[in-house]
Amino acid sequence: MSNQSKRRKVEAEPEGEVVDGGVIKLTETVDNRAGLRPGLIKNKQKRREFHKQQLSQKKRDQRAGRIKRKKEREQAAVAGTKVEAPVTRTIENTREFDETVVDPEDEEVAADQETDELASYFDGTPPKLLVTTSNRPTAETFKFGETLVDILPNATFFTRKGAELKKVIEGAVARGFTDIIVINEDKKKPTALVVCHLPHGPTAHFKLSSIRYPKEIINHGRKTSHHPEILLNNFHTRLGQQVGRMINALFPQSPEFVGRSVVTFHNQRDFIFFRYHRYIFKNAKKVGLQELGPRFTLKLRWLQQGTFDTKFGEYEWIHKRGEMDDSRRRFFL
């Protein structure tokens, strides 16, 4: 064996103490995470044993940490002080810095919102929605359209019958509709939503997924005709707040609390989850929830100024998969 081969073999062997049976026992000076990796060990049996020891050591460290924190809490309780709980690292709280994240109480943002296209609908103007589909829709798309009409107050379903979308928009504007929602499908399933605010825009295109109808939800309730409360979660950036206002403008801004119903749009990692619940107060501290359905998930693909125009429209934001998905900790809403 050449000197170079011997050198490679020595570099591949892990640092530690060799015990009976050729099993490597890790020493305290070995940094398992940074330096040594099981993949560097060529012997399969030794590699397997080394990996098991790594897992065991990790569990022992975690157990020791839990015991230490428990003792600190007990000592703090005796001393009458408070120990801050450790913050769990998640993708959300370690997201990349985004300069477009704004404070909800920002005066500049509030001034912009008072003069945007949606300002009049937060002053009491009731929305009037038109729900339609792509050309030649299947039964599944009709079913989802009927479900949208059921959950959106003051919504009307329109059968398109081959009409061009621009002409449908012109007719909706002439009849006083404030928004139009188009359900697109692929492979006989609804896969996208186009939400166009009338008469001057903006227009948003969402990917649609994970649809579950009320009958598919265990112990679901039956909705009433009361206007629900609207809850928007985690829309932190300027783009997120604009999308949240578009969604919020689809519902009347006069919730009827007698109905005890709430619609939630929860943004998590740029996926917008829709849920519909009815709540009941059990006592002064506890509240019960009953899901009414449906469930579905939206993901923004592009946002356009003005009404729907794919050829000459000006896009404010487009999701470019190859360029914008290179980091798991980068979010845009």
- Cis amide prior to 294 (ω within 30 degrees): yes
Runs of H (alpha helix) within the chain: 3-12, 44-79, 107-114, 139-151, 165-174, 238-248, 321-324
d(CA 182, CA 129): 11
The mean pLDDT of the chain is 82
Nearest to 251 by CA among 178, 173, 187: 178
pLDDT of 9 above 70? no
The DSSP code for 95 is: P
- Residue pair 65/85 in contact by the 8 Å Cβ criterion: no
- d(C-alpha 277, C-alpha 275), whole Å: 7
Q: How confident is the model at residue 30 (pLDDT cuts 50, 70, 90)?
A: very low
Q: Would you give the distance in Å from CA 204 to the centre of its chain?
A: 16
Answer yes or no: are the C-beta atoms of 153 and 250 closer than 8 Å: no
Q: What's the distance, Cα to Cα, between the start and end of the chain in Å?
A: 60
- List pLDDT tens digits, range 50-104: 888 889 999 999 999 889 888 888 888 888 787 777 778 888 778 888 788 887 7
Give pLDDT tens digits for 241-259: 889 989 998 998 888 888 8
Any idea how long the chain is? 333
Residue 1: the pLDDT is: 52
Query: Please, what's the largest Cα pairwise distance for the chain?
Result: 88
| d(C-alpha 252, C-alpha 297), whole Å | 22
Q: Residue 223: which of 264, 278, 275, 273 has the closest Cα?
A: 278
What backbone torsions phi and psi does residue 299 show, to the nearest 5 degrees?
Answer: -140, 125
49-56, long-range: CB within 8 Å, 24+ apart, which pairs?
Answer: 49/23, 49/24, 50/14, 50/24, 50/26, 53/24, 53/25, 53/26, 54/26
- Burial (CB < 10 A; 0-12, 13-18, 19+), residue 113, is middle
pLDDT at 19: 44
More confident residue, 183 or 310: 183
159 vs 274, higher pLDDT: 274
The single-letter code of the amino acid at 202 is P
